[in-house]
Amino acid sequence: MKRKLLIIFTLLLLISCAKGELIDSEKSNSYFIKSNDIYYSKNGNWVAFGYNKCDADLETFKILTNSIAKDSKFIYFGYHKQNQVDFSTFRIDSNGIPKDKNYVYENDIFKLKPVEIKDIDVESFEYLQENKSSMYSWTKDKNNYYFNGNKLNVDYKSLQFINEDFFYDKDYLYSDLNDWKIINISEIKQPPKKINEKYILSNNTFHFVGRDQKNRISLISQKIENHKNINSISGNVILIDSLVYTFGTKYKPMNPKTFKKVEVDFNTFKTLSESDFESELAFNYYCDKNNVYFNNFIVEKANPKTLQILGLGFSKDDKFVFYNAYVLKGVDSKSFRKIEENLIWKDNFGNEFDYYGNKKL
């Protein structure tokens, strides 16, 4: 009874707190009008983020971005007045960046705060997304490139990005080590070649940013003189003539029971599923015409033609079910499946496993 009353009370509360109508649904799902008052609820999620009155003039109110607005006197970030900005020159530039005559601004918790980069040219300042995960790692203006807020000592006019991890100017090849730090790799003898979004070739050496044996982000390089062909198999896998390289190193799979090396068929080798990194915890699947491979181990008895990947180390083919590189004995392949809502894997005969591969009793 108490549970039912709580549900009814919650529903009544939500109904009574109805947000009203969006003011400009094309520009924002956060600003609402109700009874001639303006309210702000981040992304319309008033249960998680609250529902606050914005003390702005309705007649002159104008939405600039999803979380920034103005009226005839003030700039607002969310429902907070931004007295620190220069109202008369404040604008959102063509790249969606808040600026005034003095500063470039970025979002903070309750306010717009100036970007902390010294002596930037406000008018030409922009974020670069060529490289990757964090759009704030790389920025530039008409005079300089900046990495994590620091000016780079590179040749501005000749600088070019190759892929996610590498760039060069007229003098040197560089990497930013996955947005961590800039390193100088080598002098430029001829323009580097992009192999894919992770590998490049420069001065007869391929380079890859990965993790070393101590799991530290590092540059992995391999000299490859007198090669004929380089082909990209996937982001982290390339084929150089008859050799397969995964995560920057020569691929040498082995039998998980005997630890004997297994030769791959390079003509048919391909990636089935790939993690963003290589470690014992990764779930990297490959196959050729003969075998299925899990990370650096052959999956015994697995049929590369019928293999299905079920997630978190589980897979199956037309006959067997596997966890990592091993067969799960006595499990029915036809009915074995993942139960999404419970994060378990089971068949129709009482065999059930958790995401660690442990069988439930």
Residue with tokens 């180390």: 313
Burial of 334 (0-12, 13-18, 19+ CB in 10 A): exposed
Same-domain check for residues 198 and 265: no
**Within a domain: 347:** yes
How does residue 16 score in pLDDT terms, banded at 50, 70 and 90? Answer: very low
Same-domain check for residues 152 and 52: no
Domain ends where: 94, 116, 138? 116
Least confident of 41-50, 77-86, 154-163: 41-50
Please compute the mean of the pLDDT values over residues 8-33 and round it to a whole number: 74
pLDDT tens readout for residues 212-243:
778 889 999 999 988 999 999 999 999 999 99
Same-domain check for residues 164 and 231: yes
Please compute the mean of the pLDDT values over residues 59-86 and round it to a whole number: 98
Same-domain check for residues 220 and 138: yes
User: For residues 99 and 80, what is the distance between their CA atoms, to the nearest angstrom?
Assistant: 17
Same-domain check for residues 180 and 65: no
Which pLDDT belongs to residue 340?
82
Same-domain check for residues 108 and 125: no
Which pLDDT belongs to residue 15?
44
**Within a domain: 50:** yes
What DSSP assignment string belongs to 321-337? EEETTEE-TT--TTT-E
Same-domain check for residues 343 and 298: yes
Judge whether residue 44 has pLDDT over 50.
yes
76 in Cβ contact with 105 (< 8 Å): no
**Within a domain: 13:** no
Which pLDDT belongs to residue 3?
56
pLDDT tens readout for residues 113-136:
999 999 999 999 999 875 444 446
Distances in Å between the alpha carbon of 268 and those of 42, 239, 244, 272, 302? 50, 11, 11, 12, 16
How does residue 361 score in pLDDT terms, banded at 50, 70 and 90? Answer: confident
Which pLDDT belongs to residue 131?
47
**Within a domain: 6:** no
Tokens of 194: 């992009």
Name the nearest CA neighbour of 264 among 237, 248, 241, 244. 244
Judge whether residue 342 has pLDDT over 50.
yes
Residue with tokens 């759009």: 135
Does the pTM of the predicted model rise above 0.85?
no
Judge whether residue 195 has pLDDT over 70.
yes
Tokens of 276: 């963003």
**Within a domain: 12:** no
Please compute the mean of the pLDDT values over residues 273-302 and round it to a whole number: 91
Domain ends where: 211, 243, 275? 243
**Within a domain: 1:** no
How does residue 276 score in pLDDT terms, banded at 50, 70 and 90? Answer: confident
Q: Give me the number of domains the chain comprises.
A: 3
What do you get for the CA distance between the two ends of the chain, in Å? Answer: 36
Name the residue range of residue 314's domain: 252-361
Distances in Å between the alpha carbon of 201 and those of 35, 344, 351? 64, 43, 49
Distances in Å between the alpha carbon of 114 and those of 77, 105, 125, 179, 310? 13, 4, 13, 22, 47
How does residue 12 score in pLDDT terms, banded at 50, 70 and 90? Answer: very low
Quote the distance between the C-alpha of residue 298 and its chain's center.
Answer: 29
Domain ends where: 243, 264, 297? 243
Same-domain check for residues 266 and 239: no
User: For residues 330 and 352, what is the distance between their CA atoms, to the nearest angstrom?
Assistant: 11
Residue 311, helix vs strand vs coil: strand
Q: What DSSP element (H or E) covers 38? A: strand 37-40
User: For residues 189 and 205, what is the distance between their CA atoms, to the nearest angstrom?
Assistant: 12
Please compute the mean of the pLDDT values over residues 324-339 and round it to a whole number: 96
Distances in Å between the alpha carbon of 163 and those of 110, 158, 219, 249? 36, 16, 14, 19
User: For residues 119 and 150, what is the distance between their CA atoms, to the nearest angstrom?
Assistant: 11
**Within a domain: 88:** yes
**Within a domain: 205:** yes
Same-domain check for residues 60 and 136: no
Same-domain check for residues 212 and 126: yes
Judge whether residue 172 has pLDDT over 70.
yes
Same-domain check for residues 150 and 228: yes
Same-domain check for residues 123 and 105: no
Neighbours of 277 (CB within 10 A): 14
Residue with tokens 């990297």: 284
Mean pLDDT across the chain? 91
Which pLDDT belongs to residue 60?
98
Which pLDDT belongs to residue 79?
97
